[in-house]
Amino acid sequence: MEWTDILRFFRGPFFSISLIIFVGGMAYRLFRIVLLGWPRDRVESRGSKAVGVLRTYLKGLVFFPFIPWVRRTFARNSLTYIAGGLFHLSLFLVIFFATPHVLVWKSLLGFGWPTLPSPVVDGLSTIGIISLLLLLVNRLTHPVLKLITRSPVWLNWTLVFLPFVTGYAMTHRLLFRYEALFSLHMITVDILLIWIPLGRIPHFLFYFFSRTIHGAQAGKRAVTP
Amino acid sequence: MGEKTIYQQLKEEGFSRRDFMKFCGLLSGMMGLEFVVPAQALGALAGPDPSLLVAEALKSKPRLPLIWLELQDCAGCTEAISRSQSPSLVNLVLDKISVDYQETLMAAAGFQAEQARLDTMKKYHGQYVLVVEGSPSTGENGVFCTIGGRSNLDLLREAAEGAAAIIATGNCAAFGGIPKAKPNPTGARGVSEIITGKPIVNIPGCPAIPEVTTGTIAHFLVMGELPKTDSLRRPLTFYGHTIHDHCLRRPFYDAGKFAGGFDDDGARAGYCLYKLGCKGPTTYNACASLKWEQGLSYPVQSGHPCLGCSEPDFWDGGGFYQGQSAPLDRPTSAVIGTVAGVGTALGIAMAGANHLKKRNAGKRTTPSGKGSPE
């Protein structure tokens, strides 16, 4: 079996299957959780829910990332804060703005958008890989984290780390032939797609639900979220 | 053998010694001799200078009989060879060194032509080189392609039986090519999938680069064996690197400068064609180094992305203008919609079941008077 055959399988039918599992699984997880229900909020409205939602997003996504030291979380856990933040930023930018990835989005959605220059994407993925390694070391050495970390977390880390590394190796043609690296990248991406609905990664979607709900509650009570 | 050597033959046709040595030099360059281990077959005759090596071979060996079979093809590989603007190389190799039977080029036709093939096969049994262009059709015992009333499978097997070596030229003969594209109605295959037990080399391409085909023939003539190949039986000298490795637009790729269309500013500036579907990174061929028409240009240089024509199943490898990173298969929106619907329904059902469970649990606890449903 040639690498090109392996590549064709993981770029073709297996990718399709992974995507189907991902979409079905995410729909299931989403409705399963949204319909869990929450207690009726009988508190009298003292402020605007919309303002609360807006404030929480502005603070969480726009302001705090740039002035992290004002938060206690930062002071206590600066490594987690910085490495975690950089990891999420690089992951987002690489997935949505690297040229090869935009071509994937274009083929899936029918439209594309401008891309980031390759050297920038390269730098971002380097940052992502280093951040992930730092977070791993932290988790391996921190006495409390070590205690509360179970196998799904290690699996999570591995399955996110592998596409990063194989993608980086592929762009730089490290160690193996391009088709081999491309295949490895596709294999790891496909496995990640299947794993996402099963693990904790759906927070990329649920995050927005919880932020919206908490922001709305805070807004209604006229407190700072 | 009482036959004239190639050198004697060339001399009779008016080749001077200088012409001959020039030809040998060109031929050794074409074979990529500097990359291959000096011929062991020639033993003491082998000099350190590749062109001397070639000269010795041409001086001592008679012409190489060659039969060129055309099966399910467009004759494009023949066209490429016959029109290539390097008469001193390609035509000389084919005219003076070999070719006894070539349907497109030979003057003879009909039974006369078939007789020439049979005569060559008989006279040079076990010595001739068989070049196959076009894919053998295996469907319905090969009736989709018949020549002179005989199925192509028959002809191929017959010709392969007495061949010293087989050269499958063009993607069709090498891997099945365009006839093998989905749904492959004629059951097209690569030659090496049908013929076993013979040395076979593949020269894929659409068409194959003329100099690569003739270079491989020359290699067999000079060295007495087929060149070293990769796992897909392609000569390493010509297929050792990807188009991307030697691409003249490579610096733009590395810098992330891409043409977004065939006539945008990026295309005019000569930027990388990756976004336009270039298959260069996974395509092994000599286009970027040998180029075409005596080194004039090659597709990527001329502004068109590489189609990947020297790779197996290139016709089914995604759209020619679809970026290489894009998936080959994707679920239709109907499938995605259905799957999302099923997921949603399951999620709702599960949530409903949970509610019922909770309510029942509440009912069970109420009579005792200790707890409430909340």
Q: Note whether B330 contacts A15, CB cutoff 8 Å.
A: yes
Q: What pLDDT score does B96 carry?
A: 65
Q: Note whether B347 contacts A27, CB cutoff 8 Å.
A: yes
Q: What is the pLDDT of residues A106-146, one digit of tens each?
A: 988 888 898 888 889 999 999 999 999 999 999 889 888 88
Q: How many domains does chain A have?
A: 1
A169, part of any domain? yes
B242, B323, B348 member nearest A31 (Cβ): B348
Q: Note whether B258 contacts A13, CB cutoff 8 Å.
A: no
Give the CA-trace dihedral at A131, A137, A140, A142, to 10 degrees. -90
At B200, phi and psi to the nearest 5? Answer: -125, 135
Task: Give the pair of three-digit tokens for residue B72.
Answer: 């399910």
SS3 at position B211: helix
SS3 at position B168: strand
A165, part of any domain? yes
Q: For residue A56, give its domain range.
A: 3-33+47-220
Looking at per-residue pLDDT, the higher value among A41 and B220 belongs to B220
Contact (Cβ atoms closer than 8 angstroms) between residue B207 and residue B170: yes
Q: pLDDT confidence of A20, banded at 50, 70, 90?
A: very high
Using the CB atoms, write b or e for B125-135: b if 16+ within 10 Å.
Answer: eeebbbbbbbb
Q: What pLDDT score does B367 carry?
A: 52
A111, part of any domain? yes
Q: Nearest CA to CA, how far is B74 from chain A (Å)?
A: 26
Nearest CA in chain A to B349: A32
Q: What is the pLDDT of residues B112-167, one digit of tens each?
A: 888 888 888 888 888 888 999 999 999 888 889 888 888 899 889 998 988 999 99
Contact (Cβ atoms closer than 8 angstroms) between residue B306 and residue B287: yes
Low-confidence ranges of chain B (pLDDT < 70): 1-2, 32-50, 84-98, 364-374
A84, part of any domain? yes
| Axis-axis angle for helices A13-34, B333-365 (nearest 10) | 30
A24, A121, A178 member nearest B242 (Cβ): A178
Task: Give the pair of three-digit tokens for residue B6.
Answer: 């190639």
Q: What pLDDT score does B103 carry?
A: 74
CA B250 vs CA B92, B136, B256, B261: distances in Å: 35, 37, 10, 18
Q: What pLDDT score does B252 carry?
A: 92
Q: What pLDDT score does B342 carry?
A: 92
A39, part of any domain? no
Give CA–CA dist B271/B274, Å, rounded: 9
Q: What pLDDT score does A218 carry?
A: 87
Q: Nearest CA to CA, how far is B155 from chain A (Å)?
A: 29
A40, part of any domain? no
Q: What is the pLDDT of residues B12-32, one digit of tens each?
A: 877 888 888 887 877 777 776
A225, part of any domain? no
Give the domains, in start order, of chain B with CATH numbers: 64-239 (3.40.50.700), 242-330 (4.10.480.10)
Q: Which of B171, B309, B321, B328 to mutate to test the interface with A (most CBs of A within 10 A)?
A: B328
Q: What is the pLDDT of residues A56-105, one digit of tens each?
A: 888 888 888 788 888 787 888 888 888 988 999 999 999 999 989 999 99
Q: What pLDDT score does B333 carry?
A: 87
pTM given for the model: 0.82
Q: Note whether B341 contacts A101, CB cutoff 8 Å.
A: no
A5, A16, A119 member nearest B330 (Cβ): A16
Contact (Cβ atoms closer than 8 angstroms) between residue B200 and residue B148: no
Among the listed residues A132, A135, A133, A101, the one whose alpha carbon sits nearest the alpha carbon of residue A118: A101
Q: Note whether A4 contacts B311, CB cutoff 8 Å.
A: yes
Residue A81 DSSP symbol: H
Interface size, chain A vs chain B, as Cβ–Cβ contacts under 8 Å: 125
Q: What pLDDT score does B38 carry?
A: 45
Q: Nearest CA to CA, how far is B256 from chain A (Å)?
A: 4
**Domain CATH number, residue A197:** 1.20.950
Please, which residues bridge with residue B203 across strands?
A: B169
Question: With pLDDT > 90 as the criterion, what percentage of chain A qualifies?
Answer: 39
Query: At residue A178, does pLDDT exceed 70?
Result: yes
Binding-site residues on chain B for chain A (CB distance < 8 A)? 231-232, 242, 244, 253-256, 258, 274-275, 281-282, 311-313, 317-318, 322-331, 335-336, 339-344, 346-348, 350-352, 354-355, 374
Contact (Cβ atoms closer than 8 angstroms) between residue A12 and residue B327: yes
Q: Which residues of B touch A106 (CB under 8 A)?
A: 323, 326
